[in-house]
């Protein structure tokens, strides 16, 4: 599958296709499904993960990602262990990554880890870590 086909299939390219000859930057938001969070809660946690990871990226990656439409993909894992492992792997790979801990005012217990945001990062590097995960 080529780059454009993957982008089309991934479905979360929000504003524009990438040029073939431009390095593709992407962000992954990985959500725990075992917590039974509602859709509003998931959206808030993902927005939090998105900005937190963005703020950890270097300025070049930020600009490349923003200027190419902020492609992102929302994926799922089924446990805190899987979430924590992905976070550690991302950090080890040198990618900007943030793990979100909920304040627990609603729905779930305080201190619960809910979402990991990784990137913006080069698509190939991100896919190496997250390519096996399913879309939420």
Judged by the rule CB under 8 A, the positions of this chain that interact with a second copy are 7-17, 27, 29, 31, 38-52, 54-55, 66, 69-70, 72-74, 76, 100-107, 110-111, 135-136
Q: Which of 13, 123, 24, 118 is nearest to 69 (CA)?
A: 13
DSSP tag of 7 = H
CB of 120 to a second copy, least distance (A): 10
In angstroms, the CA 81 to CA 122 distance is 25
30: enclosing H helix or E strand: strand 25-32
| Nearer Cβ to a second copy (37/129) | 37
From residue 31, how far is each of 13, 15, 35, 51 by CA, in Å? 18, 23, 9, 15
Structure tokens at 55: 């703020």
Query: Please, which residue, 6 or 89, has the CB nearer to a second copy?
Result: 6
Please say which residue, 75 or 129, places its beta carbon nearer to a second copy. Answer: 75
CB atoms within 10 A of CB 47: 14
Least distance from C-beta 57 to a second copy, angstroms? 11
- Considering the complex, state which of residue 74 and residue 95 has its C-beta at the smaller distance from a second copy: 74
């Amino acid at each position: 599958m080529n780059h454009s086909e993957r982008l089309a299939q991934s479905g979360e390219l929000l504003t524009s296709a990438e040029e073939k000859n431009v390095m593709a930057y992407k962000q992954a938001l990985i959500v725990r499904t075992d917590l039974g969070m509602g859709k509003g809660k998931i959206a808030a946690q993902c927005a939090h993960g998105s900005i937190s990871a963005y703020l950890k990226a270097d300025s070049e990656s930020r600009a490349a990602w923003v200027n190419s439409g902020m492609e992102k993909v929302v994926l799922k894992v089924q446990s805190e262990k899987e979430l924590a492992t992905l976070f550690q792997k991302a950090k080890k790979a040198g990618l900007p990554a943030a793990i979100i801990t909920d304040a627990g005012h609603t729905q779930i217990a305080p201190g619960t880890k809910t979402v990991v945001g990784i990137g913006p990062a080069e698509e190939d590097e991100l896919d190496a870590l997250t390519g096996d995960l399913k879309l939420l």
